Amino acid sequence: MVQVQEKQLGVNGIRLHVLEAGEGPLVLLLHGWPELAHSWRHQLAALAEAGYRAVAPDMRGYGKSDAPEASDAYTMLHLVGDVVGLVDHYREDKAVVVGHDWGSFVAWGAATIRPQRFRGVCGMSVPYVPRMPVKPTVMMKAMAGERFVYILYFQEPGRAEAELEADVRTTLRKIYYTASGSLPADHVFNVNLPKTSRFLDPMVDPEKLPAWLPEADLDVYVEAFQRTGFRGGLNYYRNLDRNWELMAAWQGAKVEIPALFVGGARDLVVTGPPGGPGNPLLAAMPAFVPDLRGQVLVPGAGHWNQQENPEATNRALLDFLAGLR
């Protein structure tokens, strides 16, 4: 049986809590919002058994890792600095970086900013997003009109926290279920909510948890977010415009290292709203990621593919890693 160790590491001026398993080439697993290193529990075991050292941190602002008070301590440069710091800690010249959701943004950022430190990159759910010609929130406001956009809702400090922290268990239960492939396929999302809406308004509260999320695993997330709140993760969203400014030197940059994209076949981030054209960034990825070695859609999975269908996710990841060796 694979032994998963918990450690506290001094990295990039902060303390990061990590889960670590196995020995061999280093693979870093970066979670998204609102998750923890625990979201990689299935991958930690599979990678260790396949001969890799798998390391999953609670990202800056999450779980048992440090959560700096200042919102501008969560820029892409800070986050990539944390990832490079982990590579340095394990005394490796290079690692493979794997990210999901916001962790994908950071993984793509690491591959763009410090490509010489990474042998490969895998983004899950979120494809590579090149730097746009205008600030993200300016573009979102222009596209949204009078409609609710959750990223814009997240920009105001305290507003989303008050909603999400009122009942953490219900919040997480709704988010995990609604964004998963367990939601009935005939469920119709209202994508035209008014600006006055709140984030949880369209979310569905299941009568019982899906099989991929046992109560004991939900408990891990609930305990962490009851203790820390949601501010750390929301600060990632609050740095979108700041990241746009900081990343000006990488305008037009491509991801040159070997890359893989994995997403749930029922993930709305991947497919877009039902009946729509899908996510155009997927079709554009080969132009910006010239060594893209695959785009894998995980059957039956929604947004949390590494938890919902770990077997298919692990198979895609291990095949990619084997190609790098």
DSSP assignments along 90-120, one per residue: TT-S-EEEEEETHHHHHHHHHHHH-GGGEEE
Per-residue pLDDT band for 252 (boundaries 50, 70, 90) equals very high
Rounded CA-CA distance 108/144 in Å is 26
∠ CA(111), CA(116), CA(122), 5° rounding?
A: 30
Query: From the CB of residue 305, how many other CB atoms can be counted at a distance below 10 Å?
Result: 29
∠ CA(128), CA(305), CA(295), 5° rounding?
A: 40
Task: State the pLDDT at residue 160.
Answer: 98
Rounded CA-CA distance 124/313 in Å is 9
The catalytic residues are 101, 303
List of E strands, 233-291: 259-264
List of E strands, 47-171: 53-57, 95-100, 118-124
Is the pLDDT confidence value at 195 over 70?
Answer: yes
More reliable by pLDDT, 251 or 278: 251
Each residue of 270-282: pLDDT tens digit? 987 666 667 888 9
- Can you tell me which residue has the tokens 């979120």? 126
Task: State the pLDDT at residue 281.
Answer: 85
What percent of the chain has a predicted confidence (pLDDT) above 90?
91
Rounded CA-CA distance 56/258 in Å is 21
Phi, psi of 298 (to 5 degrees): -85, 120
State the chain's mean pLDDT as an integer.
96
Half-sphere exposure (Cβ direction) of 259: Cα atoms closer than 13 Å: 28
pTM above 0.85, yes or no: yes
Is the pLDDT confidence value at 325 over 90?
Answer: no
Q: Strand 14-21 and strand 5-11: pairing?
A: antiparallel
- Average pLDDT on 94-98 reads 98
Weakest-pLDDT range from 96-100, 191-195, 223-227: 191-195
Is the pLDDT confidence value at 223 over 90?
Answer: yes
Each residue of 157-190: pLDDT tens digit? 999 999 999 999 999 999 999 999 999 988 877 7
Regarding the domain delimited by 5-324, which CATH topology (the fold level of the hierarchy) does it fall under? Rossmann fold (3.40.50)
Phi, psi of 17 (to 5 degrees): -85, 130
Is the pLDDT confidence value at 249 over 80?
Answer: yes
Is the pLDDT confidence value at 43 over 70?
Answer: yes
- Average pLDDT on 233-254 reads 97
Query: From the CB of residue 319, how many other CB atoms can be counted at a distance below 10 Å?
Result: 13
Of 36, 7, 86, nearest in space to 224 by CA: 36
- Average pLDDT on 253-280 reads 88
Is the pLDDT confidence value at 233 over 80?
Answer: yes
Task: State the pLDDT at residue 278.
Answer: 74
Task: State the pLDDT at residue 248.
Answer: 97
Cβ atoms 308, 300 nearer than 8 A? yes
Task: State the pLDDT at residue 276.
Answer: 64
Question: Greatest CA span in the chain, whole angstroms?
Answer: 54
